[in-house]
Structure 1
Amino acid sequence: MAQPSYDIGKIDDVIHGRLRLGVMAYLANAEVADFNELKAVLDVTQGNLSVQLRKLEDAAYVTIEKGYLGRKPRTQVRITPQGRKAFAAYLEALGRVIGPQT
């Protein structure tokens, strides 16, 4: 049986954080999510989510759009094409490190 590749250097540190991984996994399926939706789904505080989203935004993996729905402030987070590509590469790299599961 072939040994997995343990090249952990290919695992993207920006995505690898638990909360950032959760955001990317959710957005990979949902495409776009409201801030409060992410906060509820991931069961995190507003401050923690804000910090982690900023890191993903700085890496150009997500865009953050602020606006209003009527008079109510609304923040939406959307995965970018670069973010989608980085997430796919992350999953591939992680799969190579883990190797086939039996």
Structure 2
Amino acid sequence: MEGNIRILEIDGPFFFGSTSKLVDEVDEVLGTKVVIFDCRRIPFIDLSATFALEETILRLKGSKIQSFVVLTEALRDELVHLHDRDLPEEILFMDFNKSLEEARKLDPRK
């Protein structure tokens, strides 16, 4: 965690059974302004996990917390193809440092 920026690393396959860990970690973001989901180590994601990620992002947005998702180009294409309703391209990054740079712009305590 850096200031009000929280980084959640998701490592390994991301499917329905692994979404509870994500929800548990998101419950710990009190005082956070920005959450960066680092998904660069996810080899694949299924549709239910895509929905869980979208729901988590919506939940954070409702709490006035901005979300960014860092992923590989292949995973980005898969997410956009599967379901892009709540994953607008402006929150998707393929470069972790760029996502952190954007997060710092939103965090007054940097």
Asked if Structure 1 and Structure 2 have the same fold, meaning a TM-score greater than 0.5 normalized by the shorter chain, the answer is no
State the TM-score, normalized to the length of structure 2: 0.29
Q: Answer 1 or 2: which has greater helix percent.
A: 1
State the TM-score, normalized to the length of structure 1: 0.30
